[in-house]
Every structure is written in structure tokens, then in C-alpha cells.
Amino acid sequence: MENASTQVGSGDIDIVYFKNLRELISYLDQLILDNQRKAEAINKDIEALKSRVDKFQALQRIIEELIEKNKEVLPTAIELTGLKIYIDPRPTDEYDILKEGLDAIMDRNSVLKKVRDVVDILQSKVGQSDTMIVVEMRNGVPTKIVFRGW
């Protein structure tokens, strides 16, 4: 697959070029596979973390019963210009971070699969011709497809 990715703008937008629909489908398949691998790895981390989360939550309930509920609790993260930094996070914080990332990856993969289905239908209806295809990607998801020379 000979495609060129050109970074445009703030980093969340890419422009990717393909020679034909087959290359685009191959590229989408690879993105979907990569996301599935990431999701599997995160799921393993989440599963490993669940027992720590349960123990921490039980301990937290006991502590809340022992101390006054309206005492100020120290923050678990330091925020610098929108970036949250966690040092030795609570298991619940780590779980929430991993779960949020997993949900985002799964959502992105769902969209990629739908886009792939549309491109597959295009290829089956139009046939395979070597025409330049330009794809705008936003946050790893195709948002626009331009067919040149059709």
C-alpha cells in the first residue's frame, strides 16, 4: 500500500492519499485491527485492576464512615493547562481513565467499520479503478473522501 499521510493543522486532522478503493479498504482494515488490539490490551489492564478497585472502594467506605464526610479531600490529579497528571493514582481513578480510553477506542472502531462498509459498497458498485482518492481523517476517523479523475 503506497499512501502518504500529510499532517495538516492542529494534529487532529490528517490527509491520506490512496491509489484506489482497495488500498483504502486495506488501510481501514489495519486501523480497525490496531484499535481492536489496543482495546484488548486495555481490557486486560481493566480486568487486572478490578480487584484493586473493589478493595479500595471498600476501604474508602470504611474511612468515610470514620471521618467527617465534609472534610476536604486532597485532589488525586494535578491539572496543568488542561493536562491532568496522576502520581500513584487511586485504583478507581486509573480504572476510570482506562475505561474512558477503551470507550473512545470502541466508538472510533464502530465508526471505522461503518465507513469501511460504505467504501466496500462503493467498490462493489463502481468496480476497481485506479483513481486518486484523498481522505480527510479527523481524530483517526475518515470524515471526507475525494475521488479524483473519475
From the DSSP assignment, how many helices (H) and strands (E) are in the chain?
Answer: 2, 6
Q: How far, in Å, CA of 138 to CA of 1, rounded?
A: 21
- pLDDT grade for 73, boundaries at 50, 70 and 90: low
CA-nearest of 141, 146, 65 to 109 is 141
DSSP one-letter code for 76: S
pLDDT interval class at 63 (50, 70, 90): confident
In percent, how much of the chain has pLDDT > 90?
Answer: 55
Predicted confidence (pLDDT) at residue 104 exceeds the cutoff of 90: yes
Answer whether residue 54 shows pLDDT above 70.
Answer: yes
pLDDT value at position 5? 43
Q: Cβ(109)–Cβ(32) under 8 Å?
A: yes
Q: Is the pLDDT of residue 141 over 50?
A: yes
What is the reported pTM? 0.76
Report whether pLDDT(123) > 60: yes
**How many residues are present in the chain?**
150
Residue scoring higher pLDDT (14 or 4): 14
Q: Which of 8-22, 64-78, 108-122 holds the top average pLDDT?
A: 108-122
Residue 131 has pLDDT above 90, yes or no: no
